[in-house]
Amino acid sequence: MGRMIRIELYRAFHGKELKTAMLLGGLLGLAHFVLEVIPSVSHIFDGYHPDIASSVVGNVTESWMGGMINPEINIYQMVVFLLITIPYAASFYTDRKAGILKNIVVRGEKREYLAAKSVAVFMTAGVSAVFPLLLNLMLTMTMFPVINYDWYQLPNYKALFMNLAVKNVIAYCIVYMALIFVFAGLIAGLALSLSLYANNRFVVLSLPFLICIVSGRLVAYSGNPVIRGLAIQKVFYVPQSSPTTLVSLCILFVVLVLCGYVHFMVRGVKMDVL
């Protein structure tokens, strides 16, 4: 098992697809830094008034891509579903078409291969989703001071991890990126499941994007906050102006695990590739 995981991770992290996804995501994070952060440095004290307790100088919390609503985070919320699948999510399909899977079945290592493939897909999806946010945060920290949220700056009082945001904004950013990492990996599992049936690589890469966008739109206007929180885009919208809920996250987690990696493992083991 360990040898197979190392092989799959090597293939995943040395492939041009992951580099392409990180480049595209990095350009988005860099674009926000150039277009939004650098021009605002000269206005760092514009919002600060000594006599107003709620006023603060320009800071990382407000200025980075995940801090407040901005065009780049809106774009990220949409394209992240493609960044997730580009690196390695279609690799099972390409392995099957290339005959690699037949050789693995003959050696009796199919179950180990499927598990290793799941680990590699999960990891690369998480990395490609988090990279643009992490890059932008680090660049912004070179220009602005780190100041914790105060209750006047919170985008929504029901947002996830807001108590942590008030105490330590960097810890909040790390925790939220970890959440994005996990759900990015789970969404990539949908592509693995689809690759069991698809006859086209483009379908494997694009269908999770369509599923996430369409399903998100279907529940976005529900009057029930739990149902509304099932819009998967909310997980990746860091400013949390319209946040999801913990119950919604738990439901999404279970559904994605079952429809993704569990289905892939169960159906994949039974699949005849000879």
226-246 pLDDT, tens per residue?
898 888 998 998 888 778 889
What pLDDT, on a 0 to 100 scale, did the predictor assign at position 249?
93
Confidence label for 41 from pLDDT (cuts 50, 70 and 90):
confident
End-to-end Cα distance, the chain: 22
Do the beta carbons of residue 87 and residue 131 sit within 8 Å? no
Determine the number of helices (DSSP H) and then strands (DSSP E) in the chain. Answer: 15, 0
Region 187-197: mean pLDDT is 92
Dihedral angle at the C-alpha atoms of 72, 17, 217, 240, nearest 10 degrees? -40
Which helix (H) or strand (E) segment holds residue 57: the answer is none
What pLDDT, on a 0 to 100 scale, did the predictor assign at position 242?
78
DSSP at 188: H
What pLDDT, on a 0 to 100 scale, did the predictor assign at position 26?
95
More confident residue, 274 or 268: 268
What pLDDT, on a 0 to 100 scale, did the predictor assign at position 148?
72
Region 128-132: mean pLDDT is 96
Do the beta carbons of residue 245 and residue 159 sit within 8 Å? no
Place of tokens 């952060």: 37
Q: Residue 232: CB partners within 8 Å, gap ≥ 6?
A: 183, 187, 212, 215, 216, 252
Reduced to 3 states, what is the DSSP secondary structure of residue 243? coil
Each residue's pLDDT tens digit, 17-39: 999 999 999 999 999 999 988 98
DSSP at 256: H
What pLDDT, on a 0 to 100 scale, did the predictor assign at position 97?
83
pLDDT at 162 over 90: no
Each residue's pLDDT tens digit, 51-99: 554 556 667 888 889 888 889 999 999 999 999 999 999 888 888 888 8
108: left (phi over 0), alpha (psi -120 to 50) or beta: left
pLDDT at 107 over 80: no
pLDDT at 167 over 70: yes
What pLDDT, on a 0 to 100 scale, did the predictor assign at position 187?
96
- Cα-based distances in Å from 164 to 139, 161, 167, 174, 224: 22, 5, 5, 11, 26
What pLDDT, on a 0 to 100 scale, did the predictor assign at position 55?
55
Mean pLDDT of the chain: 86
What pLDDT, on a 0 to 100 scale, did the predictor assign at position 163?
80
Place of tokens 């105490």: 167
Reduced to 3 states, what is the DSSP secondary structure of residue 132? helix
pLDDT at 43 over 80: no
Give the separation between CA 249 and CA 236, rounded to whole angstroms.
12
What pLDDT, on a 0 to 100 scale, did the predictor assign at position 255?
95
DSSP at 70: -
- Cα-based distances in Å from 39 to 33, 63, 270: 9, 11, 57
**pLDDT over 90, % of the chain:** 40
What pLDDT, on a 0 to 100 scale, did the predictor assign at position 192?
92
pLDDT at 252 over 90: yes
Confidence label for 129 from pLDDT (cuts 50, 70 and 90):
very high
Residue-wise DSSP of 7-61: HHHHHHHTSHHHHHHHHHHHHHHHHHIIIIIHHHGGGTTTT--TT-TT-----HH
Q: Which of 5-14, 97-106, 122-131, 137-146 has the highest mean pLDDT?
A: 122-131
**pLDDT over 70, % of the chain:** 89
pLDDT at 180 over 90: yes
Do the beta carbons of residue 269 and residue 111 sit within 8 Å? yes
